Structure 1
Amino acid sequence: MTTTTRPAARVPVRSAITALAIGAIGALGTTGAIGAAASPAAASARPAAHAHDSIRNVSVKGCRDKTYGQVPCGPWRLAMHSGKTVTFTDALVWPRDAKGKTYTDTAAPIAVSGDGHSLAYFRKSDNRLVVREMGGAVHVMPELKGRSVTAPMDLILSQDGRRLLVGYYGTDGERRPYRVYDVSDPGQGATLPKTLANASLSGDGATVLGEIVTDENTRTLATYDASGSEMSRVEPPQVVVNNSPYALSSDGRTVAVVTGSGGGARLKLYDMVEDRMVRSLRVKLPAGGTPYMLDWTGDRQVTMHVDRGHTMWIGQFDSETGAGKVRDTYAKPKDAFVFAACGG
Structure 2
Amino acid sequence: MNAGINKALIIGGGFAGMTAAARLARQGVEVDLLEIDPGWRSYGAGISLHGSTLRVLKELGLLDRFMEEGFASDGVQMRGPDDRILVTLPTPRVAGPDVPGGGGIMRPALAKILQEEVVAAGVKVRLGATFSTIEDREDGVWVDIGDGSPEHYDLAIGADGLYSRVRATLFPEAPKPRFIGQSVWRAVLPRSAEITTVTMWLGSKLKVGINGVSTDKAYLFLTEDKEVNDFVAPDTFVETLRALLRQFPSPIIQTIADQLSEENHVIYRPLEQMLMPRPWRKGRVALIGDAVHATTPHLAAGACIGIEDAMVLAQEVGNAATVHEALAAFEARRWERCRMVVENSGRLADIEIHGGSREEHAAIMGASMKTLAEVI
Specify if TM > 0.5. no
Larger radius of gyration: 2
TM-score interval, normalised by the smaller of the two chains: under 0.3
In the superposition, the TM-score normalised over structure 2's length comes to: 0.20
* Relative contact order higher in (CA < 8 Å, ≥ 6 apart): 2
- Select the structure that is richer in helix: 2
| TM-score relative to the length of structure 1 | 0.21
